[in-house]
Amino acid sequence: MNYQHDVLIIGGGAAGLSLALRIADQCTVAIITKGPSKEGSTYYAQGGVSAVLSDQDSFESHIEDSLKAGAGLAREETVRFAVEHGPENIRWLQELGVPFSRDTFKGGKRELHLTREGGHTHRRVVHAADATGKAMSDTLENHARQHPNITFFEHHIAVDLITTEKQCLDEEENTCIGAYVLNKHSKHVETFAASYVVLATGGASKVYLYTSNPDGSTGDGIAMAWRAGCSVSNLEFNQFHPTCLYHPDAKSFLISEAVRGEGGRLLLPDGKPFMQRFDERGELAPRDIVARAIDHEMKRLGLPCVYLDISHRSAAFIASHFPTIHKRCLQFGIDMTREPIPVVPAAHYTCGGINTDLHGRTDIRNLYAIGETAHTGLHGANRMASNSLLECLVFAQSAAGDITARLDKPQRHYTISQWDESRVTDSDEDVVISHNWDELRRFMWDYVGIVRTNKRLERAMHRASLLQTEIDDYYSNFRITSDLIELRNLTLVAELIIRSAMLRKESRGLHFSLDYPWADDSSEAKDTVLKPEHKSTREKIKIIK
């Protein structure tokens, strides 16, 4: 099956949906999602969107907080761009009907309720109770599904980008012209041709054993962009959210930063607080500091978890501000209005990614990357809470402006080779995939987690190389499946994370090494940039000339 659209968007979260809605009046748009459209990270985001919306706040304060959290690697130009475009994007969401929480003030005037999270010096996080991502996702998707120029292709997973270089087409500059996509229902690979391709695929936290992310966070965009020839940056900076619910039956359930923002305290099993020993900001310190503090205490005392307590607030306050968390905890026999919540750190956000400019443009012509899969310089060495959804909105807006400005230019149409499955067979040993998947996530957690050493990284690189060889052989001989595609991508991203971590000979932000426990302040902090080796011969892919 062949499809042709003006714009192909791979990913249906806040970034992809926002972009689609901003360009659909001018062109045809295809949105590809791996499962139901609500299975991305946006849908599960609890906290909110950071933006300057109060007279007591300022752009300069938000910029200063973000730069401080970024530990010397956040780019001021990018941070300023994102912060200054924040309020207008919140207004755009309000116009679409996102039901943000409001406060009632004297005189009956209702304003947006703003909460405060780690790293912020002011209340500037707009939210919809504790299910902001769901409110945003539902609203954006409802509008997108009603638009005649937007077509959803659910249960489709991209295999690889199609470029003029891979197709051996006569083009001076390597250009993205579409993607090969596996239809998970038909089990066949389909060809999606497009004038512009946008990667909005999210992060790669599923590379770790414990994560707050949904199953689809497998680094697909980063891996496909790398194979196509894009450079990547700062993949050693993986944010571990300090507080995920610790319970044997609770899978990847996040306890929002806002719980600490509203007074929640981190406690040891004996009820003693500990965060002030690590940072004067206590529970409101940036996430990397809080996660390392919890990790330190768990290892020091041999604890399976620590506890987050907000029971000193009224039951009515907790139920109204955190209804989703409250309900979920009750399902596991935990009443957060009366007792502390057991929590552990878990992989949460990929701060590095595909290198882009302020319009989402990558190293390859007509290929864009927005949201968590991109590296814009906004987060630096550590993302500040609720700047992620801000990034999705702002860079979807800027990429949309760049694409629409180019739509009137004549577009060349290419003849694309079809996917060839004639020389592969169905595998009767899928246990290879499940075994390698488990091994990858375990050694990444053990060796490339919150605290690292040179020896651990060397062990991880050795195992990642062996896995890559085995998976590449499997990929070449057997018909591809969704699980194989994700494992192939995760293994590649794992290698890029390890390589990046090995290159940084210091501790900075989210990268902490016992061999280099201090930041190198002898020179200006620099990004860790990886570039694919130039390929003199055509990459081997399953296509017919």
| Residue 287 known to be catalytic | yes
Residue 224 CA neighbour count, 13 Å, CB half: 31
Which residues are CB-neighbours of 288 under 8 A, at least 6 positions away? 239, 240, 382, 509, 510, 512
Residue 25 and residue 102 in contact, taking contact as beta carbons nearer than 8 Å = no
The C-alpha atoms of residue 411 and residue 532 are separated, in whole angstroms, by 28
Closest CA to 372 of 501, 214, 158, 210: 214
Q: Which residue type does 346 have?
A: A
The C-alpha atoms of residue 15 and residue 171 are separated, in whole angstroms, by 30
Residue 217 and residue 204 in contact, taking contact as beta carbons nearer than 8 Å = yes
Q: Which helix (H) or strand (E) holds 179?
A: strand 176-183
For 106, the token pair is 């004297």
Residue 523 and residue 492 in contact, taking contact as beta carbons nearer than 8 Å = no
Q: Are strands 265-267 and 238-245 parallel, antiparallel or unpaired?
A: unpaired
The C-alpha atoms of residue 362 and residue 380 are separated, in whole angstroms, by 18
Give me the catalytic one of 265, 287, 441, 463.
287
Is the dihedral angle over the CA atoms 32, 34, 37, 40 positive or is it negative?
negative
Residue 115 and residue 262 in contact, taking contact as beta carbons nearer than 8 Å = yes
Is 412 strand, coil or helix? coil
Q: Which residue type does 453 have?
A: T
The C-alpha atoms of residue 423 and residue 451 are separated, in whole angstroms, by 44
Strand partners, 150: 29
For 205, the token pair is 């936290």
Would you give the DSSP letter of residue 283? G
Is 171 strand, coil or helix? coil
The C-alpha atoms of residue 223 and residue 164 are separated, in whole angstroms, by 18
In order of 269, 275, 286, 291, the CA distances from 279 in angstroms are: 20, 6, 9, 12
Q: Which position has the token pair 């016992």?
A: 514
The C-alpha atoms of residue 257 and residue 383 are separated, in whole angstroms, by 13
Catalytic site positions: 287
